[in-house]
């Protein structure tokens, strides 16, 4: 019997990029005898700095020691976490070369340096240093603006607390009268300054106030260890003719109504009658703003430039022995793809449909691949698309001869992800798989879709940290999951998810299953 909690490995393509960045290859490492690796993430946690990545030494047969240094203090961890992508790129490497550890630090700026410790001949390998500011356990943030508007005061800023995944509550005093607001508005700039903080930690609200001068004080309320943090007081004069401010940015509103048309073969993919030109081989796009239209690509498409558009195009791939996406968007690229079809004409355990980050996809027809869409970064929208009939092998070599773990959409990590008005069916594992294997997932909106099949139709993997600001709204579920009635598999009852107005086709409410 298949297990309920199923995930796929991290991708080989980011690993290749890491090897290039390090200026070495698996052959170089084997020749030199020194370890090789990469630090994938350095992020804040409530108790310190989490450092995650992988390391491998050709002369080691067991876990490899990874040393972390901050100033004169040193801590060590060892590899041993699953990284099935590593042996796909490095011959001789194992499947458990990953590491992830938290280095305890207090409030302040710290520079953490990571070293893979050599075994046998060769020498230790530096995996680089990262400087990061830790705010401590208390809330942190800023009051960016206190400005008069007609009949009120506009208050703008942000606040977060690493001890909670919920929006921070702020106590706001106007001339001593208290009210509470929540910091839940999108502020992606916060995560740039504080990796690991919430990207939706902003507040932007209008406080009612009469004509006259008012004293406004703001305090962020602490959760867990630490203490409340006062952001100070400001005096502001509200006049009788103060010009109106723009409307404040609200917390995420309910999703708009779906389009009237359910995605099918008739309204997705390349429009009927479109003339296509065959392109034999792979297509790598490096020109910013490039437009690709009317092609039949008999290979793979790699997008390495921003502002790329692909439309009215078929991508078929070719036979390979390593993990690939028919269309892959690298970290330096961004893509709008619409009215296109992605599929293979042969059975392959290695090929997904659409992969990457910084993607807007509309009216796609994706089929006969392992994962229809594989997300491992921010800013992805999949809309009005038909994801169906996934490839499934009873003996999949990427799963040591076990069955394929095919998903319509798998999310490894990322923020600001929207899945709207799609049909997702025909995957053996899930319609939507949320793993957080590559990093945190936040600000995920899944609304007005038709979802069916899978072991459970939606599966959220059990991880130490819950995903944040995840909403599944107004979706319709079929009854074809392997485990009858398993619509949402959510491991922890304490995880806060917005699961509203999701119904089976027979009208029953879709339950949340631990």
Does domain 12-134 bear CATH number 3.40.50.300?
Answer: no
CA dihedral 107, 108, 111, 116 (to 10 degrees): -10
pLDDT for the residue 13: 36
Cα distance from N-terminal residue to C-terminal residue, the chain: 18
Instruction: Report which DSSP code applies to 399.
Output: G
pLDDT for the residue 418: 96
- Tokens of residue 425, six digits: 């069916």
Please list, residue by residue across 26-56, b when 16 or more beta carbons sit within 10 angstroms of its beta carbon and e when fewer do: beebbebebbbbbbbbbbbbbbbbbbbbbbb
Quote the CA–CA distance of 370 and 268 in Å, as a whole number.
Answer: 19
Quote the CA–CA distance of 261 and 263 in Å, as a whole number.
Answer: 6
3-state helix, strand, coil in the chain (%, to 5): 5, 45, 50
Quote the CA–CA distance of 359 and 339 in Å, as a whole number.
Answer: 14
Is the CB of residue 296 less than 8 Å from the CB of residue 316? yes
444 contact partners, CB below 8 Å, separation of at least 6: 411, 417, 418, 419, 434, 467, 469, 470, 471
| Cα–Cα nearest to 306, from 337, 340, 342, 331 | 331
Q: Which CATH number fits domain 140-238: 3.40.47.40, 2.60.40.10, 3.30.360.30, 3.20.20.60?
A: 2.60.40.10
Q: Which fold has domain 277-513?
A: Pectate Lyase C-like (2.160.20)
Provide block-wise average pLDDT over 10 residues at a time, the chain (514 residues).
Answer: 28 37 35 80 88 90 91 90 84 89 85 91 88 85 81 86 89 91 83 80 88 90 88 80 39 43 93 94 92 95 94 94 92 94 92 96 96 95 96 86 91 95 95 92 95 94 89 94 90 81 91 84
pLDDT for the residue 1: 24
Structural Rg of the chain based on CA atoms: 25
User: Where are the chain's structural domains?
Assistant: 12-134, 140-238, 277-513
Q: Do domains 12-134 and 277-513 have the same CATH topology?
A: no
- State the DSSP H helix or E strand holding residue 13, giving kind and residue range, or none if neither: helix 12-22
List phi, psi (to 5°) of 20. Answer: -65, -40
* Predicted confidence (pLDDT) per residue in 281-336, tens digit: 999 999 999 999 999 999 999 999 999 999 999 999 998 888 899 999 988 899 99
pLDDT for the residue 240: 61
61 contact partners, CB below 8 Å, separation of at least 6: none
* Predicted confidence (pLDDT) per residue in 41-58, tens digit: 888 888 889 999 999 998
Strand, helix or coil for residue 51: strand
Quote the CA–CA distance of 488 and 451 in Å, as a whole number.
Answer: 11
pLDDT for the residue 260: 52
Is the CB of residue 200 less than 8 Å from the CB of residue 185? yes
Instruction: Report which DSSP code applies to 439.
Output: S
List phi, psi (to 5°) of 13. Answer: -60, -45
Which long-range contacts link 378-382 to residues 24+ away (Cβ below 8 Å)? 378/188, 378/414, 378/415, 378/416, 378/417, 379/334, 379/414, 379/415, 379/416, 379/417, 380/414, 380/416, 380/417, 380/418, 381/417, 381/418, 381/419, 381/420, 382/409, 382/418, 382/419, 382/420, 382/422
């Amino acid at each position: 019997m298949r297990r309920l909690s199923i995930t796929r490995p991290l991708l080989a393509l980011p690993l290749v990029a890491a090897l290039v960045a390090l200026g070495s290859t698996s052959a170089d490492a084997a020749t030199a005898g020194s370890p090789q690796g990469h630090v994938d993430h350095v992020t804040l946690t409530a108790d310190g700095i989490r450092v995650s990545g992988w390391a491998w030494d050709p002369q080691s047969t067991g876990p490899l020691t990874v040393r972390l240094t901050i100033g004169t203090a040193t801590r060590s961890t060892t590899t041993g976490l699953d990284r099935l992508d590593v042996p796909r790129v490095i011959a001789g490497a194992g499947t458990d070369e990953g590491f992830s550890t938290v280095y305890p630090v207090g409030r302040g700026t710290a520079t953490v340096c990571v070293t893979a410790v050599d075994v046998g001949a060769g020498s230790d390998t530096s995996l680089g240093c990262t400087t990061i500011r830790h705010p401590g356990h208390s809330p942190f943030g800023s009051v960016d603006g206190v400005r008069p508007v007609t009949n009120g005061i506009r208050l703008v800023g942000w606040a977060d607390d690493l001890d909670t995944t919920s929006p921070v509550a702020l106590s706001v005093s106007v001339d001593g009268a208290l009210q509470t607001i929540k910091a839940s508005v999108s502020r992606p700039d916060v995560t740039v300054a504080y990796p690991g903080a919430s990207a939706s930690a902003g507040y932007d609200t209008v406080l009612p106030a009469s004509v006259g001068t008012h004293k406004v004080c703001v305090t962020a309320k602490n959760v867990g260890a630490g203490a409340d943090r006062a952001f100070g007081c400001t005096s502001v004069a509200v006049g009788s003719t103060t010009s109106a401010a723009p409307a404040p940015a609200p917390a995420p509103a309910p999703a708009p109504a779906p389009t009237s048309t359910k995605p099918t073969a008739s309204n997705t993919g390349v429009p009927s009658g479109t003339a296509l030109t065959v392109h034999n081989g792979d297509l790598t796009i490096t020109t910013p703003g490039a437009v690709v239209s009317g092609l039949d690509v008999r290979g793979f498409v790699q997008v390495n430039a921003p502002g790329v558009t692909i439309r009215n195009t078929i991508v078929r791939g070719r036979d390979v022995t390593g993990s690939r996406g028919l269309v892959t968007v690298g970290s330096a690229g961004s893509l709008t793809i619409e009215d296109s079809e992605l599929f293979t004409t042969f059975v392959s355990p290695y090929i997904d449909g659409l992969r990457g980050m910084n993607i807007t996809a509309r009216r796609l027809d994706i089929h006969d691949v392992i994962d229809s869409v594989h997300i491992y970064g921010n800013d992805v929208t999949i809309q009005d698309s038909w994801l169906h009939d996934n490839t499934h092998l009873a003996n999949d070599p990427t799963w040591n001869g076990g069955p394929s773990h095919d998903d319509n959409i798998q999310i490894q990590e990322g923020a600001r992800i929207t899945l709207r008005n799609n049909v997702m069916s025909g995957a053996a594992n899930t319609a939507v798989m949320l793993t957080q294997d590559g990093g945190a997932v936040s600000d995920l909106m899944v609304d007005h879709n038709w979802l069916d099949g899978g072991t459970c139709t939606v599966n959220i993997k059990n991880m130490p940290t819950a995903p944040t600001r995840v909403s599944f709204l107004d979706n319709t579920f079929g009854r074809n999951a392997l485990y009858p009635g398993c619509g949402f598999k959510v491991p922890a009852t304490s995880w806060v998810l917005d699961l509203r107005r999701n119904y089976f086709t027979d009208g029953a409410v879709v339950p949340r299953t631990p």
